[in-house]
């Protein structure tokens, strides 16, 4: 992570550069009707200030019904934005986003649980502000970056029990069981799933019937592109079960965004047929001083480099990939955090205010006002409990504290501590 001071200095230097143009398109083939997407390019950070525009793109892949995906598409953005403190400069706003994304994901999950619906959804949620791309994701809908230098990198991790040993250990430690489906005769088939519920994912929004250890806490990554720009491909597993990151990027080189999205879907269907809902968003981030030109095939000399950062469902940790990328000056990594522990994700009071202008404390997740005696520190009663931390913010209301304990396996969902 780059220190804030360095970040601000860098921003000040690049403020002279114009903001990039965005060109984007989406394509989808439905099998079960559970994939959804969001493309919104007219969001503003400061009301009434058109120069504070930012864009949001999201892919949501629902399971056991579409209610969680639709609810998340319609509410997550507002929940994230309401978790960003007011009156921040652009740099402060960007710096506050990772934490606001965590709060927004958890709030959306918590609210959806009150609807009495049993579905769940993956979410890959991308905020583009200038050259800075912030991605938050739960589940296995990937976002990849094809930079102009010709390197393809993964901006998400796959929260699949089969491929993520850390997540398997977390789920087991929180009271879930991980195993394969058994068929008659005792043979085990298919990918690793968690029980009860039988979900293959280790994180999602919704899934009230599966268990609170399937958490909505997103992996978050924030990168700054070079002014050469790049292409983002955000897609559901209908694409990634058929194509590696590299072949998805390669299949649409040279095409404008809208055609590119269609081409990636077509390529996935050609490889594997329509086995699952298949959705793909392509976003080109284009320097303003150049004619609109989609990413070109990389020069041959990049191939050696590419070959060791790529791979289908690569198990290489994303931070290692990012370091390699930043070492060749393609992207600058600003933030990366994937922990499933809320206390580690909400930070301390000093890293972002949670008091309102009226001096009241607010809940770091749902933003309700708290009386000074009411809030429980996010650090209280956790392994982070030290002599001083239980009194440090950020604070949670009693509802969100219950949610936190349930996600950590400390008590069943919905059981309150009196």
- Interacting residues with Zn ion (CB under 5 A): 363, 365-366, 397, 400
Q: Which residue has the tokens 């009150």?
A: 114
Token pair in block for residue 226: 């070079």
Hey, how many other C-beta atoms are within 10 angstroms of the C-beta on 255?
A: 18
Longest dimension (CA), the chain: 68
Residue 296: Cβ-neighbour burial (10 angstroms; 0-12, 13-18, 19+): exposed
Residue 368: Cβ-neighbour burial (10 angstroms; 0-12, 13-18, 19+): middle
DSSP state of 405: H
Q: Give least dist CB 368 to Zn ion, A.
A: 6
283 and 145 Cβ atoms separated by less than 8 Å: no
Nearer to Zn ion, 326 or 367 (CB): 367
Q: Give least dist CB 68 to Zn ion, A.
A: 20
Q: What is the C-alpha end-to-end distance of the chain, expressed in Å?
A: 40
Hey, how many other C-beta atoms are within 10 angstroms of the C-beta on 277?
A: 22
Q: Give least dist CB 401 to Zn ion, A.
A: 8
Nearer to Zn ion, 222 or 362 (CB): 362
Q: How far apart are CA 321 and CA 388, in angstroms?
A: 37
Q: How far apart are CA 119 and CA 204, in angstroms?
A: 10
Q: Give least dist CB 399 to Zn ion, A.
A: 5
Q: Give least dist CB 321 to Zn ion, A.
A: 35
Nearer to Zn ion, 7 or 365 (CB): 365
Q: Give least dist CB 14 to Zn ion, A.
A: 37
Nearer to Zn ion, 210 or 396 (CB): 396
Nearer to Zn ion, 225 or 363 (CB): 363
Q: Give least dist CB 402 to Zn ion, A.
A: 9
Nearer to Zn ion, 199 or 342 (CB): 342
Q: Give least dist CB 305 to Zn ion, A.
A: 46
Nearer to Zn ion, 309 or 397 (CB): 397
Q: How far apart are CA 261 and CA 90, in angstroms?
A: 31
Alpha-carbon torsion, ordered 196, 66, 124, 206, to 10 deg: -40
The residue among 417, 411, 347, 61 whose CA lies nearest residue 213 is: 411
Q: How far apart are CA 35 and CA 239, in angstroms?
A: 12
Backbone angles phi, psi at 281, to 5 degrees: -110, 135
Nearer to Zn ion, 49 or 373 (CB): 373
């Amino acid at each position: 992570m780059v220190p804030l001071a360095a970040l601000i200095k860098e921003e000040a230097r690049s403020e002279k550069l114009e903001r990039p143009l965005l060109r984007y398109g989406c394509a989808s083939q439905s099998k079960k009707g559970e994939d959804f997407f969001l493309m919104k390019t007219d969001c503003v950070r400061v009301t009434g200030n058109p120069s504070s525009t930012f864009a949001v793109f999201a892919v949501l892949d629902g399971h056991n019904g579409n209610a969680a995906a639709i609810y998340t598409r319609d509410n997550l953005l507002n929940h994230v934005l309401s978790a960003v403190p007011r009156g921040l400069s652009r740099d402060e706003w960007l710096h506050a986003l990772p934490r606001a994304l965590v709060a927004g994901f958890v709030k959306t999950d918590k609210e959806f649980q009150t609807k009495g619906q049993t579905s769940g959804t993956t979410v890959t949620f991308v905020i583009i502000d200038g050259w800075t791309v912030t991605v938050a994701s739960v589940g296995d809908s990937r976002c990849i970056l094809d930079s102009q230098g010709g390197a393809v990198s993964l901006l998400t991790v796959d929260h699949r029990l089969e491929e993520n040993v850390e997540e398997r250990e977390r789920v087991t430690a929180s009271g879930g069981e991980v195993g394969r489906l058994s068929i008659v005769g005792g043979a085990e088939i298919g990918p690793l799933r968690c029980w009860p519920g039988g979900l293959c994912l280790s994180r999602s929004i919704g899934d009230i019937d599966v268990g609170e250890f399937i958490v909505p806490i997103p992996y978050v990554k924030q990168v700054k592109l070079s002014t050469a720009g790049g292409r983002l491909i955000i897609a559901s597993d209908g694409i990634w079960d058929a194509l590696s990151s590299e072949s998805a990027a390669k299949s649409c080189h040279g095409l404008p965004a809208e055609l590119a999205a269609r081409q990636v879907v077509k390529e996935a269907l050609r490889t594997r047929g329509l086995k699952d809902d298949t959705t793909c968003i392509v976003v080109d981030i284009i320097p303003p001083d150049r004619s609109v030109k989609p990413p070109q095939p990389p020069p041959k000399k990049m191939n050696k480099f590419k070959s060791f950062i790529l791979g289908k469902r690569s198990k290489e940790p994303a931070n290692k990939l990012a370091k390699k990328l930043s070492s060749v000056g393609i992207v600058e990594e600003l933030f990366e955090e994937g922990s499933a522990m809320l206390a580690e994700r909400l930070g301390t009071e000093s890293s972002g205010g949670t008091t309102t202008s009226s001096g009241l404390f607010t809940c770091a997740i749902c933003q309700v006002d708290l009386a000074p005696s009411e809030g429980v520190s996010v650090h209280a009663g956790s392994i982070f409990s030290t002599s001083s931390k239980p009194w440090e913010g950020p604070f949670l209301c009693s509802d969100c504290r219950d949610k936190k304990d349930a996600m950590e396996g400390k008590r069943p969902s919905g059981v309150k501590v009196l």
